[in-house]
Structures are given as C-alpha cells and as structure tokens.
Amino acid sequence: MLERLSEMSADTSSEGRRTLLNAVTDLFLVDEDASAAATEHYSDIARRSLDAMGSDDRAAYAERVAAEPQLPNPIAKRLATDDEASVAQLVLRLSPVLSDDDLAAIAVSHSQAHLAAIAERASLSETVTDVLVERGDRKVLRTVSGNEGATFSDRGLDTLISRSDGDTQVARNLAERSDGLPATQARRVLQIAAQMSLTHTPEVETEVIDASKNKQFARKARERRLEVRLLIADLKEGKREIDDVVSLLCKDDRAFDLAQVVSTFSDIPNTQALRALLQKEASGIAVACKAMGLSKDGFKDVLAIRASRLGIPAKQIEQDLANYDGLTAELSERAMRFLKVRGKVS
C-alpha cells in the first residue's frame, strides 16, 4: 500500500504533500511490524513531503507523531532539527526514538528554544545535560536543574553551578531534588544552596553556615517525596479524594508528582503519563484522568498546569474542558486499554 501511495507524490504542492503525508502516516503507524521496505518508503515520502510543507503544516504533523515509538529515527531527527521551534519542540520533548547522541548533537547546534524543549524531557542522560548546561541560557539552566529525570556528570554539575552565577532558582531546584543525586553531588549542592540563600537574604548575611542549614534542605527534599507516597497511600485507602490531591499538586506546579499519581491510578508507566501530561494534544491525559475518576473541575486544574508550561491559549483550554466533560467512561476505558498496550510495546 505504501508503495502505491508513493505514486501520489507527483503532486508537489504544499496541500498535496500534506494530504499524502497524512494518508501514509495513517497506514504506517497502525502497522506495528512494518517491514524495512515499508519503513524506507514511508521515510522517503515523509522527508519529501515535509520539505514542501509550510511551517504550520509541519508543526501539525509533528504534534501528531511526536510520541510515536514507531516513527523512523530519520523523520524524528528531521522534525527535531527543524529551524522552526514550533515544529521541533514537541518532538524534542517527547520522542522516544531520539537517541542521546541525537539530542546532544541538536543541543550543540540549535537554538535556545530547542534546548529548552530538550531540557523538559522525562529523562536526560549525562551526555545530554553536559551540552545543555554548557550552551543553555538562564531558562534552560533553570529547567534542567529542576528536571527530576535529569542526571549530571561531575563536570556537568560544576558547569551548571558556575554558569547559573548565583541564581537562587537553580540552587533551590537542585536542593529540592538532592536526595536523588549521587552522594558527593548532593553534599555539594546543599552547601552551595545554603550559601546562596545566605548571600541573597540581607537579614541573615552574617549568619554562619552550619550543618543544620544543609539538613534543612535535605529534609525538605525528602519530605516532598514522602508526601507524594503518602498522598497515593491515602488515595488507595480512601482517605482522600482524587480531585483534592490533583488540585494540590497542580496549584504547586508539581508536574512530575502529578504524573506519578496519574501513572499509579491509570496503570500506565510514569514516563507515558508525563508525556501525555506535557503533550499539547490533551486527549491522552484526558482519558487517563477520566479513567481514574477525576471530575471536570479537577481536570480544569490539570489544564491550568499544562497551560502554564506549554503556553496553551484560553480558547483551547475551554475546548479541552468541554471535550473532557463529554468523554464517556466507556470510551475512556477503551482508550486506556490501547494506551496500556502501546506502553508495553514501546
């Protein structure tokens, strides 16, 4: 079928390319065991179509395929390296087929908007964070320092601390997740965070830095993780309502913790829940939230945290909320079964 559709590529107009690409994508993505020949045909059509399409159409295609594990790597890289950040960002943030080497290479040569999207990935290796902290602007440094899925080499951590130049937000981000860092890095982070706190608070400039200050930062980080575990336990025991917990996490802008709750009560992997939460298309997170019994008001809080991170306009939020209100439990259950299968495949 893909071989036959390749004949349609004679239409070189932007509209013709868009129509062709949508058609072959429909066919390719439903085939979980696509042959090498079919993958090659699809990749060839996709490359030529993307080159002829406008940025809005490329962005729409990127949004559709960003999280697909079957997307051929060359096409994921073509989208992720697009000069238009609106095309590249969602792929950089979500694509499971981009390798560490792919991400590091893009981070070396592309814009700060590209780097900021990479910094929001659910997990980041030392190979990638080494480049982000070397080239990233203040926004990138703040984002990657607060990303609980990011790991740092000792050199990368040194660079991050040096380039953040006393930024208390970076220090606070690292201190809050210090219990997830290697012991040597955690000790250094806590000491520097304490020093930054004293430097930027005039009323305690003369206070001596002591062990109790370091313990305070470490305790806060542990308490936050413990709080999430206790919230989940309370939900399982019926001591709390799902709406209350979701509202609490959303109002504190705790996307990673929210994804953990969604993962637990919708029975999908944590990374899949986080991708759904941070993907511009709201259908994935909507069915997960509906499956765990979240009310319309509760989902409104979820849309708010998404809007603050993804820049989603108010009109789209209203539409997403209306769509959620009309989503039936039966449809949600069917969609969740599909998501769980896809999670196992990926």
pLDDT in tens, 35-58: 888 888 888 888 888 888 889 989
The beta-carbon contacts of 298-305 under 8 Å, at least 24 apart in sequence, are 298/242, 298/243, 298/246, 298/247, 299/324, 301/246, 301/247, 301/250, 301/251, 302/246, 302/250, 302/258, 302/277, 304/250, 305/250, 305/253, 305/255, 305/258, 305/277
- Residue 200 placed within a domain: no
Q: How far apart are CA 151 and CA 328, in angstroms?
A: 40
Residue 46's pLDDT is 87
- Residue 121 placed within a domain: no
Q: How far apart are CA 290 and CA 204, in angstroms?
A: 48
Query: Shortest CA distance to 143 belongs to which of 163, 118, 125?
Result: 118
Out of 82, 98, 114, a domain closes at 98
> Is 28 a residue whose pLDDT tops 80?
no
End-to-end CA distance of the chain: 25
Those residues with Cβ within 8 angstroms of residue 189's Cβ, 6 or more apart along the chain or in another chain: 157, 171, 174, 175, 178, 181
Out of 98, 128, 151, a domain closes at 98
Residue type, 145: S
Distances (CA, A) of 78 to 47, 61, 104: 8, 12, 15
What are the tens digits of pLDDT across the range 241-273?
A: 999 999 999 988 888 889 889 989 887 787 778
Domain count within the chain: 2
- Residue 162 placed within a domain: no
> Which of the four pLDDT bands, split at 50, 70 and 90, describes residue 195?
low
- Residue 294 placed within a domain: yes
- List residues bridging with 150 in a β-sheet: 124
| Over residues 307-326, mean pLDDT | 89
Between 31 and 213, the higher pLDDT residue: 31
- Residue 220 placed within a domain: no
What are the tens digits of pLDDT across the range 211-249?
A: 444 455 445 556 667 788 889 988 999 999 999 999 999
Whether the pTM exceeds 0.75: the reply is no
Average of per-residue pLDDT values in the chain: 81
Query: Shortest CA distance to 180 belongs to which of 159, 150, 209?
Result: 150
Q: How far apart are CA 312 and CA 308, in angstroms?
A: 7
Q: How far apart are CA 282 and CA 248, in angstroms?
A: 20
Between 346 and 326, the higher pLDDT residue: 326
Q: Quote the percentage of the chain above a pLDDT of 90.
A: 36
| Over residues 152-174, mean pLDDT | 87
> Is 141 a residue whose pLDDT tops 70?
yes
Range of the structural domain that residue 252 is part of: 241-345
Out of 98, 132, 166, a domain closes at 98
Residue 105's pLDDT is 96
> Is 24 a residue whose pLDDT tops 60?
yes
> Which of the four pLDDT bands, split at 50, 70 and 90, describes residue 336?
low
Q: Mean pLDDT check: name the lowest of 16-25, 256-265, 288-297.
A: 16-25
> Which of the four pLDDT bands, split at 50, 70 and 90, describes residue 12?
low
| Max CA pair span of the chain | 76
Give the tokens for residue 85: 């950040």
Sign of torsion, CA 150 151 152 153?
negative
Q: Mean pLDDT check: name the lowest of 112-116, 194-198, 291-295, 324-328.
A: 194-198
Q: Return phi, psi of residue 150, to 5°.
A: -90, 135
> Is 300 a residue whose pLDDT tops 90?
yes
- Residue 198 placed within a domain: no
Q: Return phi, psi of residue 54, to 5°.
A: -75, 165
What are the tens digits of pLDDT across the range 115-132?
A: 999 999 989 999 999 999
Query: Shortest CA distance to 197 belongs to which of 232, 160, 177, 170?
Result: 170
Q: How far apart are CA 308 and CA 323, in angstroms?
A: 20
- Residue 292 placed within a domain: yes
In three-state secondary structure terms, 124 is strand
Between 147 and 203, the higher pLDDT residue: 147
- Residue 81 placed within a domain: yes
